[in-house]
Amino acid sequence: MNKPSDNRQRTTDTPIWFCLDLPRTDYKRALQLQYRLVAARKDKRLAHDTLIMLEHQPVYTLGRRGGKENLKVSPDFLRNSGIQVVPIERGGNITYHGPGQQVVYPIIDLQASRLSVADYVDGLEEVMIRTVRQWEVRAERNPLNRGVWVGMQKLGSIGIAVRRGISFHGLALNVNTDLTPFSWINPCGLNDVGVTSVQQESGRPIPMDELRRVMKRHFEQVFDIELESIQMADLEKHL
């Protein structure tokens, strides 16, 4: 993974990644799409690594380390609040996804991209750090937990899984997110830490379409790739 300058020139050797922009999407539906993309990437039916960029309906997801013990509210409370709880295979503990949060699922052949898991996660963190700088938010890494932080406030989370050499799941950046549901859990299984958003840190709402454009540019710069927009109907042809 390179960290080229902002004015780098494209070449014919620059890898192409597809980029699929989706509207707000149910978590389980997006998870099934990831599984299909992982299988297609491994079988070479899908020739390019692919980013899925979306927001989710409210949901708590539980990683490989579990997380139900970090729920502070009852199942009845969750049902009344309309929040699902979904166990999945990514790393980490419990987290929340909801409207106003930018979620990105890169489906990446790590070996073909010559990326170690550690370098890949570093790259995802770097994308978030560079993106929020656009709004004068100074995020940084914290050895306490992967992702990006503003002081002791978690701003963006990372959780990935690798299946047959293909990485999936990804990152979630709190942009204009309602942070209340985070108060009903111990985020990422951590006690005595807070959660923040770009809106809260910058003092103004952030246009999600603008943030998405900025984040795409930093994906290209950090991973030294070129994103090519693709529609769902065209992506289906590879699946």
What is the model's pLDDT at position 9? 53
List alpha helices for the chain, DSSP H.
27-42, 75-81, 117-133, 198-202, 208-223, 232-236
Check pLDDT > 90 for residue 46: yes
Check pLDDT > 70 for residue 11: no
Does the annotation mark 188 as catalytic? yes
Check pLDDT > 60 for residue 5: no
What is the model's pLDDT at position 4? 40
Q: What tens digit of pLDDT does each residue of 177-222 get? A: 999 999 998 876 667 789 999 999 999 999 999 999 999 999 999 9
What is the reported pTM? 0.92
Q: What tens digit of pLDDT does each residue of 93-143 get? A: 888 999 999 999 999 999 999 999 999 999 999 999 999 999 999 999 998
What average pLDDT does this structure show over 24-31? 96
What is the model's pLDDT at position 188? 66
Check pLDDT > 90 for residue 90: no
What is the model's pLDDT at position 64? 76
Measured CA to CA, the distance from residue 194 to residue 153 in angstroms comes to: 5
Check pLDDT > 50 for residue 162: yes
What average pLDDT does the structure give for the chain?
91
List, in order of start, the domains of the chain with CATH numbers.
16-193 (3.30.930.10)
DSSP letter for each residue of 33-90: HHHHHHHHHHTTSS-SEEEEEE-BSSEEEEBTTB-GGGB-S-HHHHHHHT-EEEE-SS
- Of the candidates 52, 53, 188, 235, the residue annotated as catalytic is 188
Measured CA to CA, the distance from residue 184 to residue 133 in angstroms comes to: 29
